[in-house]
Structure 1
Amino acid sequence: MTKIISSPNCGNSPKMEFIKQFNIAFAKGNVAFLSESVTDDITWNMIGDKKIEGKANFTKAVEEMQFVKASELIIDQILSHGREGAANGIMKMPDGRQYAFSDFYVFQGAKASKIKRMSSYCIEI
Protein backbone atom coordinates (compact mmCIF):
# COMPACT_ATOMS: atom_id res chain seq x y z
CA MET A 1 0.00 0.00 0.00
CA THR A 2 1.29 3.43 -0.90
CA LYS A 3 1.52 6.01 1.87
CA ILE A 4 0.45 9.46 0.64
CA ILE A 5 1.72 12.68 2.18
CA SER A 6 0.43 15.87 0.62
CA SER A 7 0.75 19.55 1.40
CA PRO A 8 -2.52 20.82 2.92
CA ASN A 9 -3.05 23.39 0.14
CA CYS A 10 -2.83 20.78 -2.64
CA GLY A 11 -6.60 20.52 -2.97
CA ASN A 12 -7.65 24.17 -3.14
CA SER A 13 -9.19 23.87 -6.61
CA PRO A 14 -10.69 21.10 -8.74
CA LYS A 15 -7.68 21.13 -11.08
CA MET A 16 -5.23 20.97 -8.15
CA GLU A 17 -7.20 18.03 -6.74
CA PHE A 18 -7.09 16.35 -10.16
CA ILE A 19 -3.30 16.78 -10.34
CA LYS A 20 -3.01 15.31 -6.85
CA GLN A 21 -5.13 12.28 -7.86
CA PHE A 22 -3.14 11.89 -11.09
CA ASN A 23 0.11 11.71 -9.12
CA ILE A 24 -1.40 9.26 -6.64
CA ALA A 25 -2.55 7.08 -9.55
CA PHE A 26 0.98 7.16 -10.97
CA ALA A 27 2.51 6.14 -7.62
CA LYS A 28 0.00 3.29 -7.25
CA GLY A 29 0.26 2.11 -10.86
CA ASN A 30 -3.40 2.85 -11.67
CA VAL A 31 -3.12 2.59 -15.45
CA ALA A 32 -6.88 2.96 -16.07
CA PHE A 33 -7.08 6.34 -14.28
CA LEU A 34 -3.92 7.61 -15.95
CA SER A 35 -5.05 6.58 -19.43
CA GLU A 36 -8.49 8.15 -18.96
CA SER A 37 -6.87 11.40 -17.81
CA VAL A 38 -5.01 12.20 -21.04
CA THR A 39 -6.08 13.25 -24.53
CA ASP A 40 -5.71 10.97 -27.55
CA ASP A 41 -2.82 13.15 -28.78
CA ILE A 42 -0.95 13.34 -25.45
CA THR A 43 2.74 14.20 -25.61
CA TRP A 44 4.84 13.14 -22.60
CA ASN A 45 8.38 14.46 -22.59
CA MET A 46 10.50 12.66 -20.00
CA ILE A 47 13.36 15.13 -19.96
CA GLY A 48 16.72 13.48 -20.65
CA ASP A 49 15.11 10.13 -21.46
CA LYS A 50 12.39 9.92 -24.13
CA LYS A 51 9.32 11.49 -25.63
CA ILE A 52 6.06 9.56 -25.85
CA GLU A 53 3.33 10.61 -28.27
CA GLY A 54 -0.26 9.37 -28.46
CA LYS A 55 -2.57 7.78 -25.92
CA ALA A 56 -1.76 4.19 -26.97
CA ASN A 57 1.98 4.78 -26.45
CA PHE A 58 1.31 6.61 -23.17
CA THR A 59 -0.80 3.72 -21.89
CA LYS A 60 1.86 1.21 -22.94
CA ALA A 61 4.54 3.21 -21.09
CA VAL A 62 2.58 3.41 -17.84
CA GLU A 63 1.66 -0.28 -18.13
CA GLU A 64 5.39 -1.07 -18.28
CA MET A 65 5.95 1.05 -15.16
CA GLN A 66 3.00 -0.24 -13.13
CA PHE A 67 4.84 -3.20 -11.62
CA VAL A 68 7.00 -0.78 -9.60
CA LYS A 69 4.66 0.92 -7.16
CA ALA A 70 5.92 3.58 -4.77
CA SER A 71 5.84 2.78 -1.07
CA GLU A 72 5.44 6.48 -0.30
CA LEU A 73 4.47 9.56 -2.30
CA ILE A 74 5.24 12.99 -0.89
CA ILE A 75 3.63 15.83 -2.83
CA ASP A 76 5.29 19.09 -1.84
CA GLN A 77 3.50 21.51 -4.17
CA ILE A 78 0.76 21.63 -6.74
CA LEU A 79 0.17 24.72 -8.84
CA SER A 80 -2.60 25.43 -11.31
CA HIS A 81 -3.53 28.39 -13.48
CA GLY A 82 -5.69 28.36 -16.59
CA ARG A 83 -4.60 25.53 -18.91
CA GLU A 84 -1.41 24.79 -17.00
CA GLY A 85 -0.44 22.99 -13.82
CA ALA A 86 2.58 21.55 -12.04
CA ALA A 87 3.47 19.24 -9.18
CA ASN A 88 6.66 18.29 -7.42
CA GLY A 89 7.65 15.93 -4.67
CA ILE A 90 9.40 12.67 -3.82
CA MET A 91 8.55 9.06 -4.53
CA LYS A 92 10.05 6.46 -2.22
CA MET A 93 10.33 2.95 -3.59
CA PRO A 94 10.07 -0.35 -1.67
CA ASP A 95 13.80 -1.05 -2.27
CA GLY A 96 14.79 2.22 -0.55
CA ARG A 97 15.48 4.26 -3.67
CA GLN A 98 14.02 7.77 -3.73
CA TYR A 99 13.20 9.96 -6.71
CA ALA A 100 12.56 13.68 -6.74
CA PHE A 101 10.11 14.63 -9.46
CA SER A 102 8.64 17.71 -11.04
CA ASP A 103 5.85 17.45 -13.61
CA PHE A 104 4.44 20.23 -15.75
CA TYR A 105 1.04 19.81 -17.38
CA VAL A 106 -0.84 21.52 -20.19
CA PHE A 107 -4.54 20.68 -20.20
CA GLN A 108 -6.86 20.46 -23.17
CA GLY A 109 -8.47 23.73 -22.04
CA ALA A 110 -8.78 25.96 -18.98
CA LYS A 111 -11.80 24.02 -17.71
CA ALA A 112 -10.79 20.65 -19.14
CA SER A 113 -9.55 17.82 -16.96
CA LYS A 114 -7.59 15.94 -19.62
CA ILE A 115 -3.85 16.40 -19.98
CA LYS A 116 -2.60 17.26 -23.49
CA ARG A 117 1.14 17.69 -22.74
CA MET A 118 3.38 16.63 -19.88
CA SER A 119 7.03 17.35 -19.16
CA SER A 120 8.59 15.27 -16.38
CA TYR A 121 11.87 15.76 -14.59
CA CYS A 122 12.94 12.87 -12.36
CA ILE A 123 16.22 12.32 -10.54
CA GLU A 124 17.32 9.70 -8.07
CA ILE A 125 18.30 11.24 -4.73
Structure 2
Amino acid sequence: MSLDGTGKPPAEANLTKILGSRDCGNSPKNRFVQDLAVSMECGNPIPEAFDEKVIWEQSSASQMQGKKVLLAGLSARPKPATITISHAVSHGKVGAACGEVTFPDGNRRRFCHVFEFTNNKANCVAGVRSYS
Protein backbone atom coordinates (compact mmCIF):
# COMPACT_ATOMS: atom_id res chain seq x y z
CA MET A 1 0.00 0.00 0.00
CA SER A 2 2.21 2.80 -1.23
CA LEU A 3 0.99 6.31 -1.74
CA ASP A 4 0.52 5.82 -5.47
CA GLY A 5 -0.53 2.16 -5.27
CA THR A 6 2.52 0.87 -7.15
CA GLY A 7 4.76 0.00 -4.21
CA LYS A 8 7.18 2.72 -5.33
CA PRO A 9 7.77 6.10 -3.67
CA PRO A 10 6.17 9.19 -5.23
CA ALA A 11 7.68 10.47 -8.50
CA GLU A 12 9.47 13.41 -6.84
CA ALA A 13 11.27 10.95 -4.58
CA ASN A 14 12.80 9.29 -7.66
CA LEU A 15 15.17 12.26 -7.83
CA THR A 16 16.30 11.42 -4.32
CA LYS A 17 18.16 8.24 -3.42
CA ILE A 18 15.92 6.26 -1.05
CA LEU A 19 17.33 3.65 1.31
CA GLY A 20 14.27 1.92 2.75
CA SER A 21 13.74 0.14 6.02
CA ARG A 22 13.73 -3.63 6.32
CA ASP A 23 10.65 -3.26 8.55
CA CYS A 24 8.38 -3.05 5.51
CA GLY A 25 8.88 -6.63 4.26
CA ASN A 26 5.39 -8.15 4.37
CA SER A 27 3.60 -5.22 5.97
CA PRO A 28 1.66 -2.92 3.64
CA LYS A 29 0.91 -0.59 6.59
CA ASN A 30 4.62 -0.25 7.43
CA ARG A 31 5.33 0.42 3.74
CA PHE A 32 2.66 3.13 3.71
CA VAL A 33 4.22 4.75 6.80
CA GLN A 34 7.63 4.69 5.09
CA ASP A 35 6.15 6.18 1.91
CA LEU A 36 4.49 8.94 3.93
CA ALA A 37 7.79 9.85 5.61
CA VAL A 38 9.69 9.83 2.31
CA SER A 39 7.08 12.00 0.62
CA MET A 40 7.14 14.48 3.51
CA GLU A 41 10.93 14.66 3.54
CA CYS A 42 10.93 15.22 -0.25
CA GLY A 43 8.37 17.99 0.17
CA ASN A 44 5.97 16.22 -2.18
CA PRO A 45 3.21 14.53 -0.17
CA ILE A 46 0.21 12.90 -1.83
CA PRO A 47 -2.83 15.00 -0.90
CA GLU A 48 -5.17 11.97 -0.69
CA ALA A 49 -3.13 10.58 2.19
CA PHE A 50 -4.15 13.42 4.52
CA ASP A 51 -7.46 14.27 6.16
CA GLU A 52 -8.85 17.76 5.42
CA LYS A 53 -8.42 18.68 9.11
CA VAL A 54 -4.93 17.18 9.53
CA ILE A 55 -2.75 18.72 12.24
CA TRP A 56 1.04 18.83 11.78
CA GLU A 57 3.07 19.54 14.91
CA GLN A 58 6.73 20.31 14.30
CA SER A 59 7.54 21.44 17.84
CA SER A 60 5.66 22.37 20.97
CA ALA A 61 5.37 25.92 19.57
CA SER A 62 4.72 25.17 15.89
CA GLN A 63 1.50 23.67 14.62
CA MET A 64 -0.13 23.71 11.19
CA GLN A 65 -3.78 22.83 10.76
CA GLY A 66 -5.54 21.79 7.56
CA LYS A 67 -4.49 19.89 4.47
CA LYS A 68 -3.83 22.99 2.32
CA VAL A 69 -1.58 24.53 4.99
CA LEU A 70 0.34 21.27 5.48
CA LEU A 71 0.85 20.78 1.73
CA ALA A 72 2.11 24.36 1.35
CA GLY A 73 4.48 23.96 4.31
CA LEU A 74 5.91 20.72 2.95
CA SER A 75 6.37 22.07 -0.57
CA ALA A 76 8.75 24.70 0.82
CA ARG A 77 11.13 22.08 2.25
CA PRO A 78 14.61 21.73 0.69
CA LYS A 79 14.99 18.64 -1.51
CA PRO A 80 17.33 16.00 -0.06
CA ALA A 81 19.91 14.03 -2.02
CA THR A 82 19.40 10.89 0.09
CA ILE A 83 16.79 9.64 2.54
CA THR A 84 17.61 6.69 4.77
CA ILE A 85 14.68 5.17 6.63
CA SER A 86 15.92 3.33 9.72
CA HIS A 87 12.54 2.07 10.90
CA ALA A 88 8.93 2.24 9.75
CA VAL A 89 6.35 0.65 12.01
CA SER A 90 2.60 0.72 12.53
CA HIS A 91 0.11 -0.57 15.06
CA GLY A 92 -3.59 0.15 14.94
CA LYS A 93 -4.19 3.85 14.31
CA VAL A 94 -0.54 4.90 14.81
CA GLY A 95 2.61 4.61 12.72
CA ALA A 96 6.11 6.06 12.89
CA ALA A 97 9.15 6.33 10.66
CA CYS A 98 12.60 7.59 11.54
CA GLY A 99 15.79 8.09 9.62
CA GLU A 100 18.19 10.62 8.21
CA VAL A 101 18.23 12.96 5.23
CA THR A 102 21.39 14.10 3.49
CA PHE A 103 21.20 17.30 1.47
CA PRO A 104 23.16 18.05 -1.72
CA ASP A 105 25.58 20.25 0.28
CA GLY A 106 26.43 17.30 2.57
CA ASN A 107 24.50 18.52 5.63
CA ARG A 108 22.51 15.85 7.44
CA ARG A 109 19.39 15.91 9.59
CA ARG A 110 17.75 13.13 11.56
CA PHE A 111 13.97 12.93 11.65
CA CYS A 112 11.05 11.04 13.10
CA HIS A 113 7.44 11.37 12.00
CA VAL A 114 4.69 9.91 14.18
CA PHE A 115 1.42 9.52 12.28
CA GLU A 116 -2.07 9.27 13.75
CA PHE A 117 -4.56 7.80 11.32
CA THR A 118 -8.30 8.36 11.09
CA ASN A 119 -8.97 4.60 11.40
CA ASN A 120 -7.33 1.20 11.97
CA LYS A 121 -6.86 0.72 8.22
CA ALA A 122 -4.14 3.38 8.53
CA ASN A 123 -4.91 4.90 5.13
CA CYS A 124 -5.63 8.55 6.02
CA VAL A 125 -3.51 10.78 8.27
CA ALA A 126 -5.33 12.78 10.95
CA GLY A 127 -2.19 14.11 12.64
CA VAL A 128 1.60 14.17 12.34
CA ARG A 129 4.20 14.94 14.99
CA SER A 130 7.59 15.58 13.44
CA TYR A 131 10.91 15.66 15.28
CA SER A 132 14.31 16.74 13.96
Query: Fold match, TM over 0.5?
Result: yes
Pair 1:107 & 2:121 matched: no
Structure 1 contact 2–70 (Cα < 8 Å) conserved: yes
Pair 1:23 & 2:33 matched: no
Give the drift of 1:70.
0.8
| Alignment gaps of 5+ in structure 2 | 1-14
Q: Secondary structure at the match of 2:76?
A: helix
Who is 1:63 aligned against?
Answer: 75
Counterpart code for 1:23: A
1:58-84 Cα deviation digits (max 9, x unpaired) = 11111222xx21100000001100000
- The two structures have a TM-score, normalised by structure 1, of 0.86
**Moved beyond 6 Å, runs of 4+:** none
> Matched residue pairs, number?
118
| Alignment gaps of 5+ in structure 1 | none
Pairs within 5 Å for 1:41-120: 41-48=53-60, 50-65=62-77, 68-120=78-130
Structure 2 contact 86–97 (Cα < 8 Å) conserved: yes
Q: Secondary structure at the match of 2:111?
A: strand
Q: Secondary structure at the match of 1:77?
A: strand
* Counterparts of 2:33 and 2:86, CA distance in 1: 12
1:107–1:29 distance in 2 versus 1, CA, 3 Å: same
Structure 2 contact 37–113 (Cα < 8 Å) conserved: no
Structure 1 contact 11–20 (Cα < 8 Å) conserved: no
* Counterparts of 2:115 and 2:51, CA distance in 1: 12
Structure 2 contact 93–118 (Cα < 8 Å) conserved: yes
1:54–1:11 distance in 2 versus 1, CA, 3 Å: farther
Counterpart code for 2:105: D
Structure 1 contact 2–27 (Cα < 8 Å) conserved: no
* Counterparts of 1:30 and 1:12, CA distance in 2: 25
* Counterparts of 1:112 and 1:7, CA distance in 2: 18
Deviates more, 1:8-17 or 1:56-65: 8-17
The percentage of counterpart residues that share the same residue type is 30
